[in-house]
Amino acid sequence: MITDRVREAAPRLGEVPAYVYDLPALDDHVARVRRALPGVELYYAVKANPDAELLRVLAGHVDGFEVSSAGEHAHVSALFPDRPLALGGPGKTDAELRLPCHRLHVESPNELRRLLATGRAADVLLRLSPDLPVEGAALTMSGPFGMDEEGVRECLPLFGERVRLRGTHTHLASGLEAPQLLRLARTLLDTEHDEVNLGGGMAVSYTSPEDRFDWRAYGIGLGALRREGQRVRVEPGRALTAYCGFYVTRVVDVRRVRGEAYAIVLGGTHHLRTPVTKGHDQPFEVLPTGDGPAVEGAVTMVGQLCTPKDVFARNIATKVRVGDTVVFAMAGAYAWNISHHDFLMHPKPGFHYLG
């Protein structure tokens, strides 16, 4: 769960809390994903983590980036001016619709009309919200994302020479395993369109971090489903970067309150919001750097925020001493960048890049 590089570096950081990114681990992981998907275009969904150091590693392997705002567009274009960008997002402004990109993911007939009104040329994928069963997802993208069959029918006659229809885009759910994604892909690739973006959403298990998404099975499956000449693209976020990020902190107090054991660490979920938003226990390892008082047994790991919601993990069998180093793993995606870090005005974490 914790790489050797991080286990070695964490106790020596000095100032904590800090984010530590294992860049060689990211490099290896994404290289393996790339190899598992021959003939499939691989984009990275930047919203999972837009950290420039991570993007530089990713850029060595991916074909392009999926951006969902003018901010992400500016950030990625400045770093990699020549990389293909796919621009999506459910509520694009007219200014966003004017941004240069390789593919524009159009979400509704009204958005397409606004795009046409800008007068720009664009290569468009229509974002579909197909009526397909999605079992076992961590999060289903139901709601306003994309269009139904009626919306597609409304869009088709609007395309022309300047704004061209290239194909379809879907991103149906997050947390899907390869067989589930392949079942969806079977339907989505059965189309006359020459280009299909299947989205992201590949499963990441926070309860058993060693269980990784089966990229090989997915690549083999897509190879079998893909029609000759059909251009297939995927745009994972979480499953690419989740594993390379670590939130390192230190135990500042331990206590028992009405029988419950707590370890309080520096920082909190305002730096690592993932366990609160997903309602899971963030996996962690305790490195025995402390010599203070201890608690043992079912320990709940909390941060410095004055709210009962500031919980990283509940009732985990462990022993913790004041001064111990705690390394929360799987903090490389939807972690720092989704966190409310100004709440309570504690110091910001440092950022360290191992490589």
Other residues' Cβ atoms within 10 Å of the Cβ of residue 70: 16
Q: Nearer to ligand PLP by C-beta: 123 or 285?
A: 123
Could you say which of 101, 155, 244, 306 is catalytic?
Answer: 306
178 binds ligand PLP (CB under 6 A): no
Q: Nearer to ligand PLP by C-beta: 89 or 290?
A: 89
7 near 341, Cβ under 8 Å? no
Among 47, 73, 273, 321, binds ligand PLP (CB under 6 A): 47
Residue 346: closest CA among 279, 275, 252: 252
Q: Please tell me the distance from the alpha carbon of residue 82 to that of residue 219, in angstroms, as a whole number.
A: 27
Q: Please tell me the distance from the alpha carbon of residue 337 to that of residue 292, in angstroms, as a whole number.
A: 33
| Consecutive H or E run containing 233 | strand 231-234
Strand, coil or helix: what is 245? Answer: strand
Stretch that binds ligand PLP, among 41-49, 118-126, 265-273, 340-348 (CB under 6 A): 41-49
Stretch that binds ligand PLP, among 33-41, 183-191, 195-203, 321-329 (CB under 6 A): 195-203
Q: Nearer to ligand PLP by C-beta: 238 or 341?
A: 238
Q: Please tell me the distance from the alpha carbon of residue 125 to that of residue 123, in angstroms, as a whole number.
A: 7
Q: Nearer to ligand PLP by C-beta: 184 or 302?
A: 184
Strand, coil or helix: what is 8? Answer: helix
- Contacts of 157-161 with C-beta under 8 Å, sequence gap 24+, read 158/109, 158/112, 158/113, 158/116, 159/124
Q: Nearer to ligand PLP by C-beta: 103 or 250?
A: 103
279 near 45, Cβ under 8 Å? no
Nearest approach in angstroms of CB 241 to ligand PLP is: 9
Residue 273: closest CA among 228, 310, 316, 230: 310
Q: Please tell me the distance from the alpha carbon of residue 145 to that of residue 78, in angstroms, as a whole number.
A: 28
Token pair listed for 115 = 């795009």
Among 167, 201, 290, 332, binds ligand PLP (CB under 6 A): 201
239 binds ligand PLP (CB under 6 A): yes
22 binds ligand PLP (CB under 6 A): no
Stretch that binds ligand PLP, among 1-9, 45-53, 147-155, 279-287 (CB under 6 A): 45-53
329 binds ligand PLP (CB under 6 A): no
The DSSP code for 346 is: P
For residues 79-138, which are near ligand PLP according to CB under 6 A?
88
172 binds ligand PLP (CB under 6 A): no
Strand, coil or helix: what is 77? Answer: helix
- The radius of gyration computed from the CA coordinates of the chain, to the nearest angstrom, equals 22
Among 64, 151, 200, 268, binds ligand PLP (CB under 6 A): 200
Among 238, 250, 270, 271, binds ligand PLP (CB under 6 A): 238
Q: Nearer to ligand PLP by C-beta: 233 or 341?
A: 233
98 φ/ψ angles, rounded to the nearest 5 degrees:
-90, -10
Nearest approach in angstroms of CB 254 to ligand PLP is: 35
Stretch that binds ligand PLP, among 53-61, 77-85, 237-245, 264-272 (CB under 6 A): 237-245
Q: Nearer to ligand PLP by C-beta: 63 or 285?
A: 63
221 binds ligand PLP (CB under 6 A): no
- Residue 101 is among the residues annotated as catalytic for this protein: no
Stretch that binds ligand PLP, among 18-26, 55-63, 197-205, 284-292 (CB under 6 A): 197-205
Q: Please tell me the distance from the alpha carbon of residue 327 to that of residue 349, in angstroms, as a whole number.
A: 13
Q: Please tell me the distance from the alpha carbon of residue 260 to that of residue 34, in angstroms, as a whole number.
A: 46
> Using CB under 6 A as the criterion, which residues of the chain lie in contact with ligand PLP when the complex forms?
45, 47-48, 66, 88, 171, 174, 199-202, 235-239
Any idea which residues carry the catalytic annotation? Answer: 306
